[in-house]
C-alpha cells in the first residue's frame, strides 16, 4: 500500500509516520524504484502498537525504541503490554515470533552471548539458532538484559557471581507459576467467560508479582536485621 492508504488505515498522518521510521520503530518500506515506497500490514500493526503504548502507558518514543532493542530497564512492567511489544518488535525486525538477535543485546551488555548460553543451561531461556546467529524471544531477551544490569551493579565473576546463581529463582518461579495456575483454573474454569477470566489473569500477573517482590524485600531486610544483632 502507498502512504495515503497507510494514513487512512491507521488514522496517523505521514509526518508522524516518518518520525516513527526515523526512530527505527518501523521497518523500512519496500522501494521498487526511486521515490516509490510500499507499506504492508507490519507497518499498520506497528503504528497501532506505538500509538497504544503512547496513549495507555505514556511512553515516549525514546523508551519504546529502547524496549524494542532489548533494554530491560525500558520495558513496561505491566504484563498487559507483552503482546503489544511482541507485535512492535516483530514489525521492527521483520522476524516472526518477535525474535531479537543476541547481538543487539550485546551492544549494551558485551557478555550477553555468554550470559545467554549459561542462562539456557539452567532452564531460564531458550536460544534459537539461525544461519545469521542466535536469537531470543522478547521475554528471554529481557531476562538476559536483566542479568546484564546485575553485572553492571557489581555482580560479576570476580565476586563469584555468574548467571548460574539464578537457578534458584528459575526453579522457584516455575514452581510458583505452576501452582498459581492450578489455583486460578480451579476457581475460574466453568465459572467465568473467557474475557473476564483473561482480565483476572492479567491482574494477577501484575499485582501478585509486586506482592511477591514486597514479601522478598521484607524477608531480606528482616534477615539482615537479625544477622546484625
N-to-C CA span, the chain: 70
CA 44/CA 10 separation, integer angstroms: 6
Q: Work out the average pLDDT over 44-57.
A: 83
Quote the number of domains for the chain: 2
- Which pLDDT belongs to residue 82? 44
- Which pLDDT belongs to residue 34? 82
β-strands 133-136, 128-130 pairing: antiparallel
Helix (H) or strand (E) run with residue 13 in it: none
- State whether 1 and 92 are in the same domain: yes
Query: Domain residues for 9?
Result: 1-96
Per-residue burial over 99-124, b if 16 or more Cβ lie within 10 Å, else e, is: bbbbebbbebbebbbebbebbbebeb
Contacts of 52 (CB under 8 A, 6+ apart): 84
Q: For residue 44, give the nearest of 76, 80, 83, 12 by alpha carbon.
A: 12
- Residue 32 neighbours by CB distance under 10 Å: 8
Final residue in a domain of this structure, among 96, 130, 145: 96
Final residue in a domain of this structure, among 71, 96, 121: 96
Summarize pLDDT for 112-169 with one digit per residue, the tens: 999 999 999 999 999 999 888 999 988 899 899 999 999 999 999 999 999 999 999 9
CATH code where residue 37 lies: 1.10.1660
129 three-state secondary structure: strand
- State whether 6 and 91 are in the same domain: yes
Final residue in a domain of this structure, among 96, 120, 140: 96
Does residue 206 lie within any of the structural domains?
Answer: yes
Summarize pLDDT for 179-228 with one digit per residue, the tens: 988 887 788 766 666 557 766 777 787 788 888 888 988 998 999 888 87
Q: Work out the average pLDDT over 68-90.
A: 56
Amino acid at each position: 500500500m502507498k502512504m495515503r492508504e497507510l494514513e487512512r488505515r491507521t488514522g496517523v498522518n505521514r509526518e508522524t509516520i516518518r518520525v516513527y521510521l526515523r526512530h527505527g520503530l518501523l521497518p523500512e518500506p519496500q522501494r521498487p524504484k526511486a521515490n516509490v515506497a510500499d507499506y504492508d500490514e507490519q507497518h499498520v500493526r506497528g503504528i497501532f502498537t506505538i500509538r497504544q503504548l503512547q496513549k495507555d502507558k505514556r511512553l515516549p518514543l525514546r523508551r519504546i525504541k529502547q524496549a524494542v532493542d532489548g533494554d530491560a530497564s525500558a520495558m513496561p512492567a505491566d504484563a498487559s503490554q507483552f503482546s503489544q511489544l511482541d507485535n512492535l518488535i516483530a514489525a521492527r525486525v521483520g522476524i516472526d515470533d518477535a525474535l531479537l538477535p543476541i547481538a543487539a543485546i550485546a551492544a549494551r551488555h558485551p557478555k550477553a552471548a555468554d550470559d545467554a548460553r549459561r542462562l539456557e543451561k539452567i532452564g531460564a531461556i531458550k536460544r534459537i539458532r539461525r544461519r545469521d546467529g542466535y536469537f531470543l524471544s522478547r521475554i528471554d531477551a529481557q531476562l538476559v538484559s536483566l542479568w546484564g544490569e546485575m553485572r553492571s551493579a557489581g555482580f560479576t565473576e570476580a565476586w563469584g557471581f555468574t548467571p548460574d546463581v539464578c537457578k534458584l529463582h528459575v526453579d522457584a518461579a516455575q514452581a510458583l507459576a505452576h501452582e498459581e495456575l492450578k489455583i486460578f483454573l480451579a476457581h475460574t474454569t466453568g465459572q467465568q467467560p473467557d474475557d473476564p477470566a483473561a482480565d483476572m489473569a492479567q491482574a494477577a500477573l501484575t499485582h501478585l508479582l509486586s506482592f511477591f517482590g514486597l514479601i522478598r524485600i521484607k524477608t531480606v531486610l528482616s534477615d539482615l536485621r537479625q544477622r546484625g544483632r
